[in-house]
Structure 1
Amino acid sequence: MPLFTFRGVPEEKVQEYFKKVGEIAQLVNADVKQFVFWCEDTKLIGNGYDKDAIYVSIEWKGRPLKQEVVTMHIQEFFGSLSKHIYVKFTEINSFLYINGDVID
């Protein structure tokens, strides 16, 4: 179950990107119904950082050969919003529970 969390992106843009979830599912060979998108309203604070930076965190069952493909998909879509897009992948293999049940 890929969980995407977006920071520094207006909710409307995340909603627009969610319409492309079918493309992403095909890229990583996953069921489109398994994707979850979170949109967090945050503000970047830091010396020397661009204020328009975007941070995308993806938690999923490990797909190391698909990380670059997904990163480029995100970059292509959000590239007009920011020149600084950070994408972080975290493997959650058997460490995610929904309603008390482990997701395999």
Structure 2
Amino acid sequence: MSLNINIPDGPYDYQPLYEALFDPSDQGADASAFYVDLQDTVGRALGTLPERSAHIPAMRYGFAGQDPHTLEECGAVLGVTRERIRHLEVKAIAELRLIAEFMAESVAAKQ
């Protein structure tokens, strides 16, 4: 089982997973609990990555209370090109998928 934290939203941008799964206008308890749990899970997964690797997906997809940033905005903050940010993002997403698979296997083993 793998976790895909990005959803294509056009050829150059991605929509954050939690925005695709969570309707911010739905203020029900179940929806709020799901959102908090999803943010916690993604936060724990990001916390296992090196700081720079974790920083890029957090900026791109708006985790940790940030608004999502474009490749250009991320590049300006880190002093690299948008293409380099894209490469680093792909690498970080691949690492997050491995972490998600490990987390899913750990949960399945406990059940």
More helix by share: 2
TM over 0.5: no
Greater share of strand: 1
Normalised to the residue count of structure 1, the TM-score between the two structures is 0.33
What's the TM-score, normalizing by structure 2? 0.31
